[in-house]
């Protein structure tokens, strides 16, 4: 087995004290960066690039440090999703759906530990996928032309219904708002600015992070202000239950099939450049909801609803390294930053990277395994530390959330305009919460809408406006069929099989 001996060589490169130390620092910083709203994996990696330069690190240790931060941030994003209902970064968005309700039910410890384990499973098996399948998987990425990407995004939207809300119309409205926001900015296919009102700051569109932090974090602060003085807002900490700190075996057993399926789906989404981790966690969650949500427990704190997106987005993080290493094409924002780092270190990414720089590639892959184990070991004991966030009375916690939001967003672009946009989204989020409109589909609309439109327009340009090009390849026909049945089946099946009794715990977004 060439691959295994190459991997063994990789381990011999990665297993030095310096590299292990760097991996430890990277994992720790990454977890913190991921947990802070506004700071995501791509900012985290970018912030640490100068550090790697300043320390004069050679290629392999530098990459080990940065990929540890990357994996750490993917782990960390879930923490604030679960504890505060504020996604730490885009891929952790879906984790709020069941993670936060679990925390409200006094199961914060279990949710954190379970999501840690799901993250580990996703990332661990995705890294094996990277080891054995990278060259083959590149061919899958090549199968996806604009028409196929369009079908893939259509599939994502078709399975959107019912997620995050019991009221389908409100979910659709929210997705529509998201799509509308996605249209802001210069249209790449014609070069014409849309809905920018001559404001140069809007030419690049709305940054997802600004929208997420505004909608989730700031609106939470506004809700708190509204309720100030009441018992809920001043927060009597004594009646908050933290729950146990390890998930019971039965819960793990229940979530194993979920993790397995989500890992595969997330990994595939990661491999496709232009899809990425957010799509990975989204598809994992929605497929899992379709498959196993027999009693309508998803969205109310179902452990499987926590395991699915976490396994999915961490598997996608591993998957995104496939096109980066094997093609030199970034599959996500973070891998784009890593790619720039490789260039700066005199390594040309591309199809020959595995042949020309095996020490870098295999050292990196070995480091991923090490970082992964390290993150699991570090995260499980830290659960008890994280859950204490819930003990902080909201009157201290909320100002801190507001401060971190402002600092984080200012740090991305260094412009005060983004802060105003964030406040706008905060107010919008507050109003929508009052109206009981779910926020998650808005972000999905923004995240997926742009890509969906761009790919449709590309397909149309290539085919000279012939719509049949969208259904021309077997792959796209297959995706359309999935989309069709994903949309139709729940409507039919729901009518016949859905339990008739109303749920007792159908408490909506607990405002």
Partner 1 sequence: MKNFITRLAATAVAVVSLTAAAHAFDPGATECIAPANPGGGWDFTCRQVGKTLQDLKLVPGTMQVTNMAGGGGGVAYAEVINKRNDANNLIIAASSATSTRLAQGAYPGNTMDQVRWVASVGADYGIIAVAKDSAINTLPELMDMIKADPTSVSIAGGSAVGGWDHLKVLMAAKKAGIADVRTIKYVAFDGGGEAVTQLLGGSVQAFTGDASEAKGFVDSGDIKVLAVLAPERLEGDFASFPTAKEQGIDVIGANWRGFYAPGGSSDEAYDYWVNAIGTVYDSAEWKDVMAQNGLAPLNLRGADFQAFVADSVASITDISKEIGLIK
Q: Is 329 in the site for partner 1 (CB under 8 A)?
A: yes
Q: Among residues 56 and 229, whose Cβ is nearest to partner 1?
A: 56
Q: Which two tokens stand for residue 333?
A: 């924002």
Residue with tokens 């008739």: 500
Angstrom distances, CA of residue 144 to CA of 120, 136, 141, 268, 333: 28, 14, 6, 12, 19
From candidates 198, 229, 474, 510, binder to partner 1 by CB under 8 A: 198
64 close to 105: Cβ distance less than 8 angstroms? no
Q: Measured from the CB of residue 5, what is the shortest distance to partner 1 in angstroms?
A: 23
Q: Is 169 in the site for partner 1 (CB under 8 A)?
A: no
Query: For partner 1, how many residues bind (rule: CB under 8 A)?
Result: 60
Q: Is 348 in the site for partner 1 (CB under 8 A)?
A: yes
Lay out the site mask for partner 1 across 10-49 (x = CB under 8 A, - = otherwise).
--------------------------------xx-xxx-x
Q: Which of 93, 437, 264, 59 is nearest to 85 (CA)?
A: 93
Lay out the site mask for partner 1 across 266-295 (x = CB under 8 A, - = otherwise).
-------xx---------------------
Q: What is the DSSP letter of 310?
A: H
Q: Measured from the CB of residue 181, what is the shortest distance to partner 1 in angstroms?
A: 16
Q: Among residues 32 and 339, whose Cβ is nearest to partner 1?
A: 339
Dist. CA 51–CA 187, nearest whole Å: 36
From candidates 412, 456, 470, 479, binder to partner 1 by CB under 8 A: 412
From candidates 106, 176, 257, 328, binder to partner 1 by CB under 8 A: 328
Q: Among residues 166 and 458, whose Cβ is nearest to partner 1?
A: 458
Q: Measured from the CB of residue 466, what is the shortest distance to partner 1 in angstroms?
A: 10
Dist. CA 97–CA 164, nearest whole Å: 6
Stretch of residues binding partner 1 (CB under 8 A), selected from 21-29, 186-194, 363-371, 426-434: 186-194
Q: Is 464 in the site for partner 1 (CB under 8 A)?
A: yes
Per-residue three-class SS string for 176-229: HHHHHHHCCEEECCCCEEECCCCCHHHCCCCCHHHHHHHHHHHHHHHHHHHCCC
Q: Is 3 in the site for partner 1 (CB under 8 A)?
A: no
Q: Among residues 41 and 280, whose Cβ is nearest to partner 1?
A: 41
Contacts 24+ apart (CB under 8 A), 368-371: 368/67, 368/71, 368/123, 368/127, 368/130, 368/318, 368/321, 369/11, 369/124, 369/127, 370/14, 370/15, 370/20, 370/23, 371/23, 371/26, 371/27, 371/64, 371/67, 371/68, 371/71, 371/72
Dist. CA 121–CA 307, nearest whole Å: 10
Give phi and psi for 193, each to the nearest 5. -70, 140
Q: Is 378 in the site for partner 1 (CB under 8 A)?
A: no
Q: Measured from the CB of residue 341, what is the shortest distance to partner 1 in angstroms?
A: 8
Q: Is 260 in the site for partner 1 (CB under 8 A)?
A: no
Stretch of residues binding partner 1 (CB under 8 A), selected from 16-24, 30-38, 175-183, 340-348: 340-348
Q: Among residues 293 and 359, whose Cβ is nearest to partner 1?
A: 359
* Sites of contact with partner 1 (CB under 8 A): 42-43, 45-47, 49-50, 53-56, 141-146, 186-191, 198, 200-204, 273-274, 323, 327-330, 333, 336-337, 339-340, 343-344, 346, 348-353, 412-415, 417, 454, 458, 461-462, 464
């Amino acid at each position: 087995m060439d691959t295994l001996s190459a991997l063994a060589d990789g381990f011999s490169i990665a297993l030095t004290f310096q590299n292990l130390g760097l991996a430890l620092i990277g994992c720790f910083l990454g977890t913190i960066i991921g947990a802070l709203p506004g700071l995501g994996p791509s900012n985290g990696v970018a912030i640490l690039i100068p550090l790697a330069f300043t320390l004069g690190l050679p290629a392999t240790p530098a990459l080990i440090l940065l990929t540890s931060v990357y994996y750490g941030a993917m782990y960390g994003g879930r923490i604030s999703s679960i504890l505060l209902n504020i996604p730490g970064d885009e891929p952790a968005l879906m984790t709020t759906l069941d993670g936060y309700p679990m925390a409200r039910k006094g199961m914060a410890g279990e949710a954190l530990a379970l999501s840690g384990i799901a993250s580990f499973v996703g990332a661990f098996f995705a890294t094996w996928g990277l080891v054995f399948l990278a060259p083959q998987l590149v061919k899958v990425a090549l199968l996806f032309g604009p028409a196929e990407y369009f079908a893939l995004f259509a599939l994502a939207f078709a399975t959107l219904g019912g997620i995050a809300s019991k009221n389908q119309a409100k979910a659709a409205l929210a997705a529509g708002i998201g799509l509308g926001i996605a249209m802001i900015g210069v249209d790449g296919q014609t070069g014409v600015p849309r809905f920018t009102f001559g404001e140069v700051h809007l030419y690049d569109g709305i940054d997802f992070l600004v929208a997420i932090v505004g909608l989730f974090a700031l609106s939470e602060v506004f809700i708190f202000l509204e309720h100030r003085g009441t018992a809920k807002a001043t927060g009597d900490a004594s009646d908050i239950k933290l729950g146990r700190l390890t998930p019971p075996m039965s819960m793990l057993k229940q979530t194993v099939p979920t993790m397995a399926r989500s890992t595969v789906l997330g990994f595939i989404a990661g491999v496709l450049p232009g899809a990425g981790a957010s799509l990975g966690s989204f598809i994992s969650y929605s497929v899992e909801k379709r498959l196993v949500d027999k009693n309508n427990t998803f969205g109310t704190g179902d452990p499987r609803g926590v395991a699915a997106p976490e396994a999915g987005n961490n598997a996608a993080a591993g998957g995104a390294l496939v096109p980066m290493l094997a093609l030199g094409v970034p599959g996500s924002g973070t891998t784009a930053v890593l790619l720039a780092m490789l260039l700066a270190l005199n390594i040309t990414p591309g199809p020959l990277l595995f042949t020309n720089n095996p020490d870098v590639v295999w050292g990196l892959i070995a480091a991923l395994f090490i970082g992964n184990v390290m993150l699991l070991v570090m995260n499980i004991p830290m659960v008890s530390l994280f859950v204490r966030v819930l003990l902080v009375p909201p009157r201290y916690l909320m100002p801190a959330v507001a401060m971190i939001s402002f600092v984080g967003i200012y740090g991305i672009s260094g412009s005060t305009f983004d802060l105003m946009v964030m406040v706008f989204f905060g107010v919008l989020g507050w109003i929508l919460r009052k109206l009981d409109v779910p926020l998650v589909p808005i972000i999905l609309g923004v995240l997926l809408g742009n890509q969906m439109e761009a790919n449709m327009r590309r397909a149309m340009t290539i085919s000279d406006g012939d719509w049949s090009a969208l259904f021309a390849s077997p792959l796209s026909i297959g995706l359309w069929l999935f989309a069709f049945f994903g949309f139709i089946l729940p409507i039919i099946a729901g009518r016949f099989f859905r339990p008739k009794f109303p749920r007792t715990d159908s408490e909506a977004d607990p405002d």
